[in-house]
Amino acid sequence: MKITDLKCTVLGQYPVIRITTDEGISGLGGAEINKHYLKPHILFYKQYIVDEDPTDVERVMLKIRRLGSFKPWGSSVSAIETALWDIAGKAAGVPVYKLLGGKVRDKARVYNGSVRFELKGVSPEDHAADMAKMKAAREGFTIIKQGIAFHSPMPRAVPGFFYGEIREGIITNRGSLTERGLKHTIACVEAMKEVLGDEVGLALDCGPGLTVPDAIRLAKALEPLNVMWLEDMITGDYIPYVLADLYRDVTVSTSTPIHTGEQIYLRQNFKDLIEKRAVDISGPDPYDIGGIAELKWVAEYADLHGILMAPHGTANGLIGLAALVQVSATLPENYIAFEYPVARPKWWYDIVEGLPDPIVSDGFIDVWDTPGMGVELNEEATRKYLPEEDADFFD
């Protein structure tokens, strides 16, 4: 089998790729919503993969892996990797999890990072009301993640929240919290935990942007609340480095679990984080780390060092959801849950075939047994959403 083409389109702001072969088998992959600008970057790799055997996944990846980087520039490589596994599974007539070593679990626990309601304000009462709605969501999530501090409207909405200037852009604010800012953050977490009790775990996305002293103070203040984790306090989303030593300073100072990893590309860049036990939980994203095999490698290495896994995925859409289900089925017992992605616009649910209905039940997704990743785009339903210049996407 040989690769004949690499195609990329943008469907509802999600880059979607299709790798075709000379045996009529094709594979799907994608990237996070709003990464439409990656299309030319993805197509750049076509010259390296055409005429390769797509079922030799690692051999193909060795040709392109060094050409990626931290989020978002690892997304292109990751999309190709997941599409190759899709083809390999279809060619073998088995779900991808079989090619990754087989199932460890029949159901994959997910946590809520995407099912959202309008947050009316940033007061503790507002956060409590919002949490009540998420707790009552039909998916029955057992873990809910909420943004606080620099991963929330707090710096803009709370006067005197931190010692610094408000900057516009993607997660750009950073600075020392004022006493008011720290107390406000703690009060909001307390209000959310009051709603969730010990029935639903609360995870908190905190940054990036906190200083080490503030990260330690926040983590220690929240110890009595038994939160699931504090995520990306120092670095994280769209930060092209790790700073493992700083994370270790925080982790060894508190019993509150510390989490990071969504922006990190390749296993090599997790090395210090894992070997120094700089965090308690790692959260790579299959669409940023370099693909699902790369994520599994990191999960197994983390397991050797007593580090837990809660993979990221909130913006990966339905094709990304399938990849997360397949790889999460195979992860070691350090697996907690992956971040459940929803699709926007809602017409995505009309064009993707192969998903269970409902997708999530009591906080879990049943691992399906369809060959490959197990989902396909309905060609007829999808064509009306294709940009004009990509009319040949299915050809």
Q: For 89-145, what is each residue's pLDDT tens digit?
A: 999 999 999 999 999 999 999 999 999 999 999 999 999 999 999 999 999 999 999
CB atoms within 10 A of CB 93: 9
Residue 141: closest CA among 104, 101, 112, 184: 112
Give the DSSP H or E segment for 4. Answer: strand 3-11
Question: Which tokens belong to 86?
Answer: 């899709």
Question: Which tokens belong to 122?
Answer: 């940033």
CB atoms within 10 A of CB 115: 16
Q: Cα–Cα distances in Å, from 349 out to 12, 263, 313? A: 12, 27, 17
Query: Which residues are within 8 A (CB) of 51 and not within 5 positions of it... i.e. 6 or more apart?
Result: 2, 3
- Helical segments of 138-178, H only: 154-157
Angle 25-84-315 (CA atoms, 0-180°, nearest 5)?
115
Residue type (1 letter), 269: N
pLDDT at res. 346: 96
Residue type (1 letter), 232: D
Question: Which tokens belong to 179?
Answer: 């006493």
Counting Cα atoms < 13 Å in the Cβ hemisphere of 352 gives 26
Decide if 89 contacts 373 (C-beta within 8 A): yes
Question: Which tokens belong to 177?
Answer: 């919290």
User: Structural domains in the chain?
Assistant: 3-94+377-390 (3.30.390.10), 98-372 (3.20.20.120)
261-295: buried (b, 16+ CB within 10 Å) or exposed (e) per residue? bbbbbbbebbeebbeebbbbbbbbbbbbbbbbbbb
User: How are the residues of the chain apportioned to helix, strand and coil, as percentages rounded to the nearest 5?
Assistant: 40, 15, 45
Q: Is the pTM of this model over 0.75?
A: yes
Question: Which residues of the chain, if any, have pLDDT below 70?
Answer: none
Q: Look up tokens 């993805």; give the residue.
A: 42
Decide if 324 contacts 114 (C-beta within 8 A): no
Residue type (1 letter), 335: Y
Question: Which tokens belong to 67?
Answer: 């050409």
CB atoms within 10 A of CB 297: 17
Residue type (1 letter), 145: K
Maximum C-alpha span of the chain:
64
Decide if 38 contacts 75 (C-beta within 8 A): yes
Distance, CA of 328 to CA of 332 (rounded, Å): 9
Angle 112-115-120 (CA atoms, 0-180°, nearest 5)?
115
| Tally of residues, the chain | 395
343-356 tens-digit pLDDT = 999 999 999 999 99
pLDDT at res. 168: 82
SS3 348: helix
